[in-house]
Amino acid sequence: MPLRALILCLGLFALTAAQAAVPGPAKAEIEKINQDWGPAMQKGDADTVVAAYGPDAVFCTAGGKCYSGLDAITAMTRAVLAAHGPAKSAAAHTTRLVEDRGYIYEWGQAKIVDAAGAARGGSYFTIWKQQPDGHWKIFRNIVLP
C-alpha cells in the first residue's frame, strides 16, 4: 500500500475511532421521545414537547434565533402552539445517531403541518446529554435552514 493511502486510511480511522454505537437503552429513550413529539404537537401539549429538554438546553431556529434554558424554550414552544394551533400532523425521524465522548449526536428530519395546513420542517441536529438521573435530555437542538 502506498504511503499516502496508508496515511489516508489511518486518518479516516482516527476520525471515526471515538464514535461508538449508541447504547440500546439510550437509543430507545431517544426514539420514544421523538415518537412522542408528533402526537404532543397534535394535541398542543407543550409540557410533553419541552420535557425532552435538559435544564441547560439551547434551541436554535432555522432563522438563527436561539432560546437558552428550559424556561425560554417552554415560553417559545407555548407561543408557537398559540400562534399556529395544534398541528394536523407532526413527525421526527432520525437519520443518523452516534455516541462520542458521553454525548449522543442525532441528525434527522422533522415535518409539521399546522392547523391551517401549512407545512414546514426540514433537517435538524440535536445533541443529547445524559442527566444525573440517567435519562437523556436535549442539550442543544438546531433546526437547520
Domains of the chain and CATH, by start: 21-143 (3.10.450.50)
Where are the extended beta strands (E) located within 2-145?
19-20, 53-60, 66-68, 89-100, 103-113, 119-130, 136-143
Q: How many CA atoms lie within 13 A of 89 on its CB side?
A: 7
* Mean pLDDT, the chain, whole residue set: 89
CA distance 113 to 119: 4
pLDDT tens digits for range 39-75: 999 999 999 999 999 999 999 999 999 999 999 999 9
Q: For the CA atoms of the chain, what is the radius of gyration? A: 18
CA distance 82 to 36: 19
Mean pLDDT of 33-43: 97
Predicted pLDDT at 131? 96
